[in-house]
Amino acid sequence: MSENKEVVVNETSLQMMPSSDTQLEQTVKNAERYIELQNNIRRMAVKLTNQNDWVNQNSTPYMEISGATKIANTFGVSMGDMIFEKETIKDDKGEYIIYSCMALLSFNGRSLLEEGNSSTRDAFFGKTKEGFKPLSEVDLVNIKKKAKTNMLNRGIKNLLGLSYTWDEIEEITDNKINRNAVTGVTYQKGTSGGNEDTDLEKQQRQKIGQMLMIMTGDDKENAANLLEEITEWTTKEGEKRKGKRSARDISTKAVKVAYGNVKKRYIDFCKKNNLDYSEVE
Partner 1 sequence: MENLVEKVKKNIASKNQRFPCYVNRASSIGYFVPELNGCVRKGVYERTNWQEKELYDSNVLLIFAEGNNQERQVLKDLADAGVDIIEQQSAFEWKEYQISGHLDGVYIEEGKAIPVEIKSMSPFIFDSIHCFEDFKKKPWTRAYMAQIMIYMLFKNIDKGIFILKDKSTGNLKQIDVNLDYELAENCIKTAEKINKHIKENTLPEKIKDIETCKDCKFKLICCPDINFGAPLKIIDDPDFENKITKSLELKESSNEYDKLWKSITDKAKASVVNGELNQLVGKYRVYGKLSSKGSFTTKIDVI
The least distance separating partner 1 from the CB of residue 122, rounded to whole angstroms, comes to 15
| 82 binds partner 1, rule: CB under 8 A | yes
Side-chain-side CA neighbours of 174 within 13 Å: the count stands at 0
Q: How many residues are present in the chain?
A: 281
> Which of 10, 59, 73, 88 touches partner 1 by CB under 8 A?
73
- The pattern of x and - marking residues 38 through 67 that bind partner 1 according to CB under 8 A reads --xx-xx--x--------------------
Q: What is the DSSP string of 221-279?
A: HHHHHHHHHHH-EE-TTS-EE---SSGGGS-HHHHHHHHHHHHHHHHHHHHHTT---GG
- 97, 146 Cβ separation under 8 angstroms: no
Mark residue 184 as left, alpha or beta (left: phi above 0; alpha: psi -120 to 50; beta: remaining).
beta
How many binding residues for partner 1 (CB under 8 A)? 39
Side-chain-side CA neighbours of 249 within 13 Å: the count stands at 24
| 81 binds partner 1, rule: CB under 8 A | yes
Instruction: Compute the distance between CA of residue 112 and CA of residue 72 in angstroms, rounded to an integer.
Output: 14
| 185 binds partner 1, rule: CB under 8 A | no
**What DSSP character marks residue 133?**
P
Alpha-helical regions (H) of 79-126: none
| 9 binds partner 1, rule: CB under 8 A | yes
The least distance separating partner 1 from the CB of residue 123, rounded to whole angstroms, comes to 17
Nearer to partner 1, 39 or 203 (CB): 39
- 205, 196 Cβ separation under 8 angstroms: no
| 74 binds partner 1, rule: CB under 8 A | yes
Work out the number of other CB atoms within 10 angstroms of the CB of residue 21.
8
Nearer to partner 1, 33 or 93 (CB): 33
Q: Which stretch binds partner 1 (CB under 8 A): 30-38, 198-206, 227-235, 247-255?
A: 30-38
Instruction: Write out the binding residues for partner 1, residues 212-231 only, by CB under 8 A.
Output: none
- The pattern of x and - marking residues 89 through 108 that bind partner 1 according to CB under 8 A reads ------------------xx
Nearer to partner 1, 11 or 232 (CB): 11
Residues of this chain that bind partner 1 (CB under 8 A)? 1-9, 33, 36-37, 40-41, 43-44, 47, 69, 72-84, 107-108, 139, 141-142, 144-145, 148
